[in-house]
Amino acid sequence: GAVVSQHPSRVICKSGTSVKIECRSLDFQATTMFWYRQFPKQSLMLMATSNEGSKATYEQGVEKDKFLINHASLTLSTLTVTSAHPEDSSFYICSALEGAWDSPLHFGNGTRLTVT
Amino acid sequence: AQKVTQAQTEISVVEKEDVTLDCVYETRDTTYYLFWYKQPPSGELVFLIRRNSFDEQNEISGRYSWNFQKSTSSFNFTITASQVVDSAVYFCALLPGEYGNKLVFGAGTILRVKS
In tens, the pLDDT along A54-88 reads 889 999 999 999 999 999 899 999 999 999 999 99
Cβ–Cβ gap A95/B45 under 8 Å: yes
- The pLDDT of residue B115 is 94
Write down the mean pLDDT value for chain A: 93
The number of angstroms, rounded, from the C-alpha of A54 to the middle of its chain's C-alpha atoms is: 16
Cβ atoms of A48 and A57 closer than 8 Å: yes
- Strands A111-115 and A10-13 come out as parallel
Cβ–Cβ gap A104/B46 under 8 Å: no
A–B interface: beta-carbon pairs under 8 A = 49
Q: What distance in Å separates the CA atoms of residue B102 and residue B34, rounded to the nearest whole number?
A: 12
Cβ–Cβ gap B97/A43 under 8 Å: no
Residue B85 binned pLDDT confidence (cut-offs 50, 70, 90): very high
Average pLDDT over residues A79-101: 93
- The pLDDT of residue B63 is 96
Pick the residue of A45, A47, A90, A105 with the most B CBs within 10 A to test the interface with B by mutation. A105
Identify which has the larger pLDDT, A16 or A39. Answer: A16
- Strands A90-97 and A32-38 come out as antiparallel
Write down the mean pLDDT value for chain B: 93
Cβ atoms of B29 and B94 closer than 8 Å: no
pLDDT of residue B28 exceeding 70: yes
- The pLDDT of residue B64 is 97
pLDDT of residue B8 exceeding 90: yes
- The pLDDT of residue B99 is 64
pLDDT of residue B46 exceeding 80: yes
pLDDT exceeding 90 applies to what percent of chain A?
A: 73
- The pLDDT of residue A21 is 98
Q: What distance in Å separates the CA atoms of residue B106 and residue B90, rounded to the nearest whole number?
A: 9
Q: What distance in Å separates the CA atoms of residue B40 and residue B85, rounded to the nearest whole number?
A: 9
Residue B87 binned pLDDT confidence (cut-offs 50, 70, 90): very high
Closest-CA distance of chain A to residue B37, Å: 10
- The pLDDT of residue B72 is 96
Identify which has the larger pLDDT, B74 or B101. Answer: B74
- The pLDDT of residue A52 is 86
Whether the CB of B44 is below 8 Å from some CB of chain A: the reply is: yes
Residues in chain A closer than 8 A to B92 (CB atoms): none
Q: What is the pLDDT of residues A18-32, one digit of tens each?
A: 999 999 999 999 889
Identify which has the larger pLDDT, A102 or B7. Answer: B7
**Residue whose C-alpha is closest to residue A14's, from A85, A104, A100:** A85
Whether the CB of A28 is below 8 Å from some CB of chain B: the reply is: no
